[in-house]
Structure 1
Amino acid sequence: MRAIFLTLVVVNLGLFGVLWFRPAAVDLAPPKSAVPVESGVQRLVLLGELEPEDILPRERIDVSQASGAEAGAGVAAESAAGQPGDGLAVDSRPLCTYVGPFQDMLPAEYLVENLQALEVSAQVRKVEVPGDPNFWVYQSPEPSRKAALRRLHEMQAKNIDSYVIPKGELENGISFGVFSSRARAEERLAVILSLGYEAAVRPIPRTFEEIWVSLGVGEAEKVADERWFELLNREDGLEKRQNFCSPVASGEKFH
């Protein structure tokens, strides 16, 4: 009996010694995130070490940023390509060359003959050229011709130079004269107003015809610069310019 008791005591003491002196277990589980170190650099963590919830939020942010960048690039590309609605407008009408103005038809016809000898297509054209406007001093139309004549007699009795406008937009109005400069028209207007009558000034567009020689697209380039210098110096005031081509044989307009 004593031997059994002693045996149990020895076994318990031995088990106690094993448990007391065994080294502590090391936790080898990988961390779920990078741990800062003293140098300020985070330890590299493999994607396989991260949980799904640690990955998805970052992926959503990156996708949003990428979408914004792609959208901005698309807008920039569309703007650079000059899509419709960007305010750009290009006139595609062809340009012809005109030489002139000539004082008479004969010198213009001589130039056409010289150009045709050089196998250059050309023809004489009469071109409408905008000039300085005239200025009309007038009074608004009366309701009838009878009323206009009555107003005219009233003004002429006061020695106001005037006449009834017979037709047009101002028919049955009173005209106080047409002047070549706005300053003179304003002087006349001031006189009429000082006499107690209403009046106004209206600009009148004015054009006149000039004689020019017209060359089709690319025809002027067939003549050397030295030859053009000689042709243009045959008459005073000649010049060579470009303008939009017109299919009309006469009555063209310079823009």
Structure 2
Amino acid sequence: MRALLLALIMLNAGLYLWQRYDSGYQEVSEAMAMPAVKGNIVLLSERAAAPEVLDGARDPELVTVSSINTDLAPPQNTVAPTAPLECWLLGPFTTVSGGDLPAGLEWRREEYERDADYWVYLGPYADVTAASAISRELKRKGIDSYVIRRGELNKAVSLGVFSDARRAEKHQQRMQSRGYGADIRKISKFAQRLWLVLKAEPDSEIYRSGIAYLKGQAGEGQTVEKKSCNRIASYKEFD
């Protein structure tokens, strides 16, 4: 009887242990099947090995950083382009006048060719002696000439100076027909004149007041003209 009671107790204890073991196995299985949640530590090797887990539970901090990077894209240039400048001028003047100028206006000085002479000549020669010999020969033939002793045509023989280019060419042809290879040299005469120049943005106050000032300063033979705004060293560069 005592042996039977001991056997029943051992059987009940074995059944209890078997039920506890089966329950623990189910808890472990369920825990292993649960998806990763925020706060769990996941190794890089585990991330690479289980991309489906990352897709199912994307880290919100990573999404936030991605959004911030998109928001920090460089802004587009919104600066409005400036209007091109316009240039107007009035002149010519021989002297500066009018006192202080309004904003946008300035004086420009120009050196220009006032007129020119056309020099018909022979040479230049190696020295004054050779030039003098040619001059004496010409005089014996009744051709007016003299030796030039300075300047660009030093040691040449002058056959005449003309203010008109066509007259100079006709004299050159006459000398060539007589066996003398005459040349023509243009000798320019320069002078200076002044122009009053406005450079400003159209429709600006400086532009409007500048145009009004130029028109008020215009005199006989002077007009207000629109010109190119390229760098101005002389009046010719306005054309």
TM score, norm. by length of structure 2: 0.49
TM score, norm. by length of structure 1: 0.47
